Chain A
Amino acid sequence: MNRKILIALLLPTFAHSAGADVQWVLGQSTLAYHVSHPLHQSDGVSHAARGKGVCHEGQCDFLIAVPVKSFDSGDSNRDLHMLQVTRGAQFPLVTVRVRLPEDASVSGTLHADLEIEFAGQTKQYKQVPFERVNQGNDVKISGTIPATLADFKIDPPKLLTVPVKNEMPVHVDMLWHRP
């Protein structure tokens, strides 16, 4: 009898963890790209990313999107030039899709395969390391995506006829929470 009661009590808990979808929503975020030029070191920062994650049958799919024009480098002329060379008017969003196993939930380093759509191109990045820190019900994710201009077929912008470097690392700080 006691065993039946115990099973009846535990069953809903198990069903919730194994069958039902779990959703994550991106709260605060900071995305910053870094571009190097012999005369300049520029950082463009955006806090406008939106994201959602859905965990289903042991797999979590995350989608993060950020408007290209939301990146602010402190110079409107440079930002408009960035918007132009990245074809930001025609492809206004950067989207990042990530698939992770649901059990990748402990604090520490996690390695994620990313699919990034940017400037009309799609590029996969394998095993990008991110630091994950659990903060109560929230999860903080930080890491750097080793993007390059060539990955997205972007012609390097020039200043005084000198092009910027190909490397354009994007540092990511995100705080996810369950709604």
Chain B
Amino acid sequence: MNLKAGKLIPGGWVLALSLLIAGPSPAQTAGATLSGTIKDSLGTVVPNAKVVVKNTGTGEATEAQANAAGRYSVANLLSGNYEVSVSAEGFEAKVATVQLTVQTNQTLDVALASISTNVAKPALGDLGFPTAQGSAQDQARLDRRSHMLMIHQRLGLITLAPLVATLITSSGASRHGTVAERDWHAALGGAAIGMYAMTATYAIRAPKIEGTATRGPIRLHKTLAWIHGTGMVLTPILGIMAYEQLNRGEKVHGIASAHGAVAWTTSLAYGAAILSVSFKF
């Protein structure tokens, strides 16, 4: 008997050590997955149902939401018995039980009864709309977008003033004009560029709304932005080159001679961009 024990004890230590080295058993960590489809009594999928999976042994609950196709999936569940509670607007809540074993993918489809079948009044659930309540977070995002675009619109209109003033003073900035006139033209141009940059920033940084295709006059507005945006970068560079050439007593030459044409093209594109969203063509 002792001999047997002596032979078994080292084996037991080896087993214990191997368990310690291996860490916790798979039953404690390796997760099971519970998934399925939520449907109504007629077999039509119920989208966006709320699914709560509660381990009846530990009391730990995991919440999930079915997708638009009524599918839900909860992963990393320990083995044991679970209560699965399913609820959706317009339907009676339902609780089902399921036993999960280690590392299995178990399917549990749930059929919900429409509330309207009991009260003879149609409900949103009958129409396939899960709920009338949306997302406050998405609304805040929309509010922020509209607010930024409103500032973009106002700044865009205000920017017209220094832009037009810069164009008006352009004749005095030529080689027939004085240095003071050129300085005045450059200052107005600088102000227009600064205002333009602020205007553009509000449009560029306004939150984008997923899944929205650009349609209508805003497409033209955005296309024109590529023209006046490029022009607003090139115009001051060419203007500085022309300014320096004139101040050196030279005639404007090289690419600097394109300053006027680029400035006018930019301004016309800018004006057209404003008109494109102001009037219906």
Q: B244 on the interface (CB 8 Å rule)?
A: no
Q: Which residues of B contact A90 (CB under 8 A)?
A: 133-136, 138-139
User: Does B135 lie within 8 Å of A54, measured CB to CB?
Assistant: no
User: Does A50 lie within 8 Å of B132, measured CB to CB?
Assistant: no
Give Cα A2–Cα B280 distance, bound, in whole angstroms: 75
Q: A77 on the interface (CB 8 Å rule)?
A: yes
Contact mask B134-164 → A, CB, 8 Å, 1/0?
1110110111011001000100010000000
Give Cα A83–Cα B138 distance, bound, in whole angstroms: 11
Instruction: Pick out which of these stretches binds chain A: B168-176, B209-217, B255-263.
Output: B209-217
Q: A75 on the interface (CB 8 Å rule)?
A: yes
Given contacts A39-B280, A63-B123, A81-B146, A89 and B215 within 8 Å (CB-CB) = no
Q: A117 on the interface (CB 8 Å rule)?
A: yes
Q: B167 on the interface (CB 8 Å rule)?
A: no
- Residues in B211-250 with C-beta less than 8 Å from chain A: 212-218, 221
Give Cα A74–Cα B213 distance, bound, in whole angstroms: 11
Residue of chain B at shortest CB distance from A93:
B132
Q: B22 on the interface (CB 8 Å rule)?
A: no
Give Cα A95–Cα B143 distance, bound, in whole angstroms: 23
Q: B127 on the interface (CB 8 Å rule)?
A: yes
Q: Whole-angstrom distance from the CB of B130 to the nearest CB of chain A?
A: 10
Q: A177 on the interface (CB 8 Å rule)?
A: no
Q: Whole-angstrom distance from the CB of A48 to the nearest CB of chain B?
A: 10
Given contacts A89-B135, A91-B133, A93-B132, A76 and B214 within 8 Å (CB-CB) = yes
Q: Which residues of A contact B133 (CB under 8 A)?
A: 90-91
User: Does A75 lie within 8 Å of B217, measured CB to CB?
Assistant: yes
Q: Whole-angstrom distance from the CB of A71 to the nearest CB of chain B?
A: 12
Contact mask A60-79 → B, CB, 8 Å, 1/0?
01110101000011111111
Give Cα A153–Cα B214 distance, bound, in whole angstroms: 28
Q: Which residues of A contact B146 (CB under 8 A)?
A: 80-81, 84-85
Q: B129 on the interface (CB 8 Å rule)?
A: yes
A contacts with B, residue count (CB < 8 A): 39
Q: B11 on the interface (CB 8 Å rule)?
A: no
User: Does B143 lie within 8 Å of A75, measured CB to CB?
Assistant: no
* Residue from B120, B123, B135, B143 with most neighbouring chain A CB atoms (10 Å): B120
User: Does B120 lie within 8 Å of A89, measured CB to CB?
Assistant: no
Q: Whole-angstrom distance from the CB of A36 to the nearest CB of chain B?
A: 12
Q: Which residues of A contact B142 (CB under 8 A)?
A: 80, 83-84, 88-89
Q: B52 on the interface (CB 8 Å rule)?
A: no
CB within 8 Å: A-B pair count: 106
Give Cα A89–Cα B149 distance, bound, in whole angstroms: 18
Q: B13 on the interface (CB 8 Å rule)?
A: no
Q: Which residues of B contact A72 (CB under 8 A)?
A: 215
Q: Whole-angstrom distance from the CB of B221 to the nearest CB of chain A?
A: 8
Residue of chain A at shortest CB distance from B147:
A84
Q: Whole-angstrom distance from the CB of B23 to the nearest CB of chain A?
A: 47
Q: B197 on the interface (CB 8 Å rule)?
A: no
User: Does A93 lie within 8 Å of B124, measured CB to CB?
Assistant: yes
User: Does A61 lie within 8 Å of B139, measured CB to CB?
Assistant: no
User: Does A56 lie within 8 Å of B120, measured CB to CB?
Assistant: yes
Given contacts A84-B145, A89-B142, A53 and B122 within 8 Å (CB-CB) = yes
Cross-interface CB contact of A160 among B149, B157, B213, B217, cutoff 8 Å: B157
Give Cα A120–Cα B25 distance, bound, in whole angstroms: 52
User: Does B132 lie within 8 Å of A54, measured CB to CB?
Assistant: no
Cross-interface CB contact of B122 among A61, A67, A75, cutoff 8 Å: A61
New A-B pairs, 16, CB < 8 Å, besides A53-B122, A63-B123: A39-B280, A40-B279, A51-B127, A52-B116, A54-B122, A61-B120, A65-B132, A76-B216, A77-B217, A80-B146, A85-B146, A89-B138, A90-B135, A92-B134, A93-B129, A160-B157
Q: State the 8 A-B residue pairs at the shortest beta-carbon distance, nearest first.
A: A75-B216, A89-B138, A90-B139, A52-B122, A77-B218, A56-B120, A63-B122, A89-B139
Interface of A toward B, CB cutoff 8 Å: 21, 39-41, 50-54, 56, 61-63, 65, 67, 72-81, 83-85, 87-93, 95, 117, 159-160
